[in-house]
Amino acid sequence: VANPALGTLTGSVTDTATGTVLWSQDPDRPMIPASTTKVLTAAAALLSLPPDHRITTRVVEGSRPGEIVLVAGGDPTLTAVPVGADGFYPGAPRIADLVQQIQRSGALVDTVLVDTGSYMGDPMAAGWTPSDVEGGYIAPIEPVMLDGGRLNPREDESPRSATPALDAGRA
């Protein structure tokens, strides 16, 4: 931690069972997190959520006939790639499956709304720029995206969408 080659490091490690701080270095100093922070977030989720937990994207009736609402629950892996082909996330859920469920219900749909209310705050982190979206490094953080917001669902660093949740609704 003291090695200057590591750059500036801040943070804290807390025992979640006891609340005891096990390690801390300048924890109140605001910093832009590195991409590796998602590893810690994933580890915390695995420790906190039951092993069978699934993120749910639902479709519900809207407030008027012909209107449905895509209720986004936090899934960035949904894909619009045709059945038989993989998008960026192999085995990902398909928007086509939601469409088939709607068709089987017999609902006549003329309007699709997207409810992104499960996420709050700015979809762009401090320090992110639109050129990072265009460059394929990031997408605005919204609770539903197609293939992580990638415009080309088979390329890791494909340009990303500036409106990932809207794209899912359009699909």
| pLDDT recorded at residue 145 | 95
Secondary structure letter of residue 82 according to DSSP = P
| pLDDT recorded at residue 2 | 78
Give the residue extent of every domain in the chain.
Answer: 4-48, 58-170
Tens of pLDDT, residues 3-52: 887 778 888 899 988 999 999 999 998 877 666 777 888 888 889 999 89
Tens of pLDDT, residues 90-112: 889 999 999 999 999 999 999 99
Let me know if 96 is exposed, middle or buried by CB neighbors in 10 A (0-12, 13-18, 19+).
middle
Res 168 pLDDT > 80? yes
Give pTM, 2 decimals: 0.75
